[in-house]
Structure 1
Amino acid sequence: MGAMSIRRSLSPLHAECEALIWAMECMKTLQISEVVFATDCSQLVKMVSTLTELSAFTTHMEEFLRCKEFFLNFTIQHIPRAQNTLADKLARSARTSPSAMVYVDYVPPRWLSDQEPS
């Protein structure tokens, strides 16, 4: 979410949901209809997998379902943060970066591949 430079969300789960929808929109724009989305937020995986009815997320879920129709097979999986230290480091760097950064592709940029996880 830090890379998107958007407004603050109501809660961390709202931010995770907005980030997923943004990633889905990016994949649609790139015409990539077969993708596996991964997150360290187990609540998000549960919410979109079971389509839990939470009134605070009605708008988000409507947008999610609209985006989901594009994908041939929609898959989302939970990867604990401890098992994905490089993504965690990237997210922390984006939050502290003074400028916006957006990168959407299936090939990681060279500068990211060269970094060591901390």
Structure 2
Amino acid sequence: MVWDERSTDRMMGAMSIRRSISPLHAECEALIWAMECMKTLHISEVVFATDCSQLVKMVSTPTEWPAFTTHMEEFLRCKEYFPTFTIQHIPRAQNTMADKLARGARTQPSAMVYVDSVPPRWFSAQEFT
């Protein structure tokens, strides 16, 4: 999930395209994808949120993760677009919206990409508020 610091607008996204080497690789790829989406939308003042504490550690010290060198190079390239890069850890128990988006994306019959401030049809409007 990403939100614009200057407003109350929140963007959500889900992608179900390919499998990753590991869950941490998937989290890293998801962050890079979210950053690319914000660049495409010309939104540079954002806060990125994740339930993966390792991802927060990784982007804070990218050189200490040699197995992720390629991902970290791409992350650092994307990071240049954001004047102040902010990422927050939100515990999974408090991150039910993101969990529901991820589960919903996995159940889709084909590859899908979703980015919007309005929840998709398969996402309960009650859980969005």
Indicate the TM-score class for this superposition, using the shorter chain for normalisation.
0.7 to 0.9
Q: What is the CA-CA distance between 1:50 and the residue it aligns to? A: 2.4
SS in structure 2 opposite 1:76? Answer: strand
Letter aligned with residue 54 of structure 2: Q
SS in structure 1 opposite 2:17? Answer: coil
1:92 to 67, 90, 103: 103
Hey, what's the Cα distance between the residues in 2 that align with 1:88 and 1:4? 13
Report Cα offsets for 1:4-49 as digits up to 9, x if no partner.
3333111100010000001101111111111100000000001101
Change (3 A) 1:113 1:32: farther
Aligned twin of 2:3 = none
Hey, what's the Cα distance between the residues in 1 that align with 2:111 and 2:124? 20
**Residues 16 and 113, structure 2, Cα contact 8 Å, conserved in 1:** no
Q: Residues 1-118 of structure 1: matches in 2 within 5 Å?
A: 3-105=14-116, 107-109=117-119, 111=121, 112=123, 114-116=125-127
Change (3 A) 1:65 1:97: same
Letter aligned with residue 98 of structure 2: A
Q: Which has the higher strand share?
A: 2
* 5+ long unaligned stretches in structure 1: none
Give the TM-score taking structure 2 as reference length.
0.79
Q: How many residues align?
A: 114
* 5+ long unaligned stretches in structure 2: 1-13
Q: Percent identity?
A: 84
Q: Which has the higher helix share?
A: 1
Letter aligned with residue 109 of structure 1: P
